[in-house]
Amino acid sequence: MAKTRPIASGGAPSQRQLRVGEVIRRALAEILQRGEVHDPDLARVSVTVAEVKVSPDLRHATAFVLPLGGVNTAEVVRALGRNRAEIRRLVTDRIDLRFSPELSFQADTRFDQMDRTREVLRSPDVRRDLED
C-alpha cells in the first residue's frame, strides 16, 4: 500500500508544486516573449511572468503577471484570460505532465507593495524611531 501524506490546508507548497510552477512560468515567459499568442492586445506589450502558483493536485495554476512598466495591467490580464485556452495548449506542448493545468492570470502586486514599504520606511516618524 502506498504511503499518503495528508494535505495541509494553508501550508507551504510542496517541492513538486514549486518545480511544476517554475516549469510553467518558464514556458509562459517563452511563449509571451516570442509573441506566439495571436492577440493584438498582447502583441504590443512585454509581459513579465513573476510567479506561477500551482494547486496541490497540479490541476490549476495561477500566473502572476505584470506588463513592462506596469501600464494597462488590467487590460493585459483580461487579454491573457481571453486567450487562456490557446496559452494552455502552447504550454502543454512545452511541458511534460500527465495533466495540463487550467490557467488563470492575476496582476502581480508585489512591486506596488515594495514601493509602499519603502515609503513607510522613509517616513520621518519611522526614521526618528530607527535613529533612537
Q: Domains of the chain: which residue ranges? A: 15-131
pLDDT number for residue 81: 94
pLDDT number for residue 2: 52
Q: What pTM was estimated for this model as a whole? A: 0.77
Q: Which of 91, 80, 82 is nearest to 47 (CA)?
A: 80
Class of domain 15-131: alpha beta
Which of 70-74, 86-90, 119-123 has maximum average pLDDT? 86-90
Evaluate the CA torsion angle 56, 61, 62, 64 in order and state its sign. Answer: positive
What pLDDT digit, counting tens, does each position of 15-68 carry? 999 999 999 999 999 999 999 999 888 888 899 999 999 999 999 999 999 998
